[in-house]
A and B are shown apart, each in its own frame.
Chain A
Amino acid sequence: MDLSATFRIILLVLLVICAIAVNLTKNLLQAVIIFMSYSSIMCILWILMESPDLAITEAAVGAGISGTLFLLTLRRIRKEDDKDGDQE
């Protein structure tokens, strides 16, 4: 088995681990970060599969913008929680 195939298999295993870890993580912030690392791994895999177009989009959207949106949503949820806590 040559080096690139080993690299691919390591990346694919990491991908599966990330996908499972997102579901099993209790902390939402950690889940978002794991999800972003999932996108980064997927981005490298797209490059290895010779589709750089998808890799660029995955890096920008998957690892960047969707992660930012998730973080903003988390902040919004926490804020709502805090407000409810004050009123009760």
Chain B
Amino acid sequence: MIKDYFDHWLDGECDPTRDIYEIARVPDASRSELKDMARKSREEIASRDTTRSAISAQKKGFYAIYTIVAIVSCIALIGVLLYSVSLLPQYGRVNPRAAAVVERYIEDGVAETGAINIVSGIILDYRAFDTLGESHVLFTALLCVMVLLRMDSKNMRNKKEDYALMMHENFFDLSHDGIIRTVAKVLLPSLLVFGAYVLLNGQNSPGGGFSGGSILGATLIIAASSFGLSRIGNVFTRRASECATFISLSFYSFAKGYVFFTGANGLENHIPKGTPGAILSGGLILPLDIAVGIVVTCTMFGFYSLFRKGMIGNDN
């Protein structure tokens, strides 16, 4: 019979989905009536003993299979991970496969990049394109959080929710707490200086864009939670953060984007490398560090602001 149907359909004589459409047509009942009907039929079905036992048996079977599958997949994952760990070089030993690259980095790193901190030399000179990708990942993450959490005129809350949110904000606002304000007043200047130091001294000492940027972002978060988000929002507006992020990312992309076409061997650098150990050394590393730091700071504070209030800055 199905074959006949199919042949008819192939010849264009009938439409096999016609019956389905007619069944699926919504009856002319109002929404509440429909809900009542659905509830009644659900109750009727649930009240029958046979259905109930059948449902519970099915549930039991599902949960048994679910547990077994979960345990098996967990064990398989653990096995795969342990196997790949066993392939790694031993804890603290030299990786024989990467030894040549490491030797080159350690022996010629300072001379070639001008950075005493070899890590900075690697991530912002030899492998600057990796860091370029990482900063764009951060930017993309901020964009995604904005898409999900931002409150603007199109998806505003209604009045009641707005009021509840305001009461909530006031209840959790710590800016009236004397202890936190005082501690923040003492801590903030030194935190800002420390963040700037870690950021600007990245080529000479441990630190650099990511660490310094995250310290600065955490400082801004402390300031926002102790003096009120709106006071920081007056300075750190959405437009300012967008501009800063855009300028930093485009600067980085223009400075290092060509590596995607030339391979890992960058073009010759005409910025003087300076004496290793001075603040102005390392050629392009310092500006790139600052760019990455600005992106990370804006991203971290943007996350906080979006998570807490649904907007960056005060005006949206």
Contact = CB atoms under 8 A, between A and B. Distances in A.
B13 to A, nearest CB: 54
Interface in A49-79: 49, 51-53, 55-57, 60-61, 64-65, 68-69, 72-73, 75-76, 79
Interface size class of B (residues with CB under 8 A): 20 to 34
A57 B293 CA distance: 12
A16 to B, nearest CB: 13
Contacts of A52: 206
Interface string B202-230: 00001110110011011001000000000
Nearest to A8: B91
Interface in B95-152: 117, 119-120
A57 B214 contact: yes
A53 B211 contact: yes
A65 B119 CA distance: 23
B252 interface: no
Contacts of A26: none
Interface of A is mostly: helix
Nearest to B225: A68
Interface of B: 92, 117, 119-120, 161, 164-165, 168, 172, 198, 206-208, 210-211, 214-215, 217-218, 221, 300, 303-304, 307-308
A65 B210 contact: no
A73 B303 CA distance: 11
A72 B214 contact: no
16 contacts: A52-B206, A53-B119, A53-B120, A56-B198, A56-B207, A60-B215, A64-B221, A65-B214, A65-B300, A65-B304, A68-B221, A68-B304, A69-B307, A72-B304, A72-B307, A83-B164
A65 B207 contact: no
Contact of A56 (B92, B165, B215): B215
A14 B92 CA distance: 20
Contacts of B92: 49
Interface of A: 49, 51-53, 55-57, 60-61, 64-65, 68-69, 72-73, 75-76, 79, 83
A47 B300 CA distance: 24
A16 B164 CA distance: 41
Q: Which of B207, B211, B300 has the most CB of A within 10 A?
A: B211
A-B pairs with lowest CB-CB distance, top 8: A52-B206, A60-B214, A56-B211, A72-B307, A57-B211, A64-B218, A53-B206, A61-B214
Given A68-B221, A79-B168, 17 more contacts: A49-B92, A53-B207, A53-B208, A55-B206, A56-B211, A56-B215, A57-B211, A61-B214, A64-B218, A64-B221, A69-B303, A69-B304, A72-B304, A72-B307, A79-B164, A79-B165, A83-B161
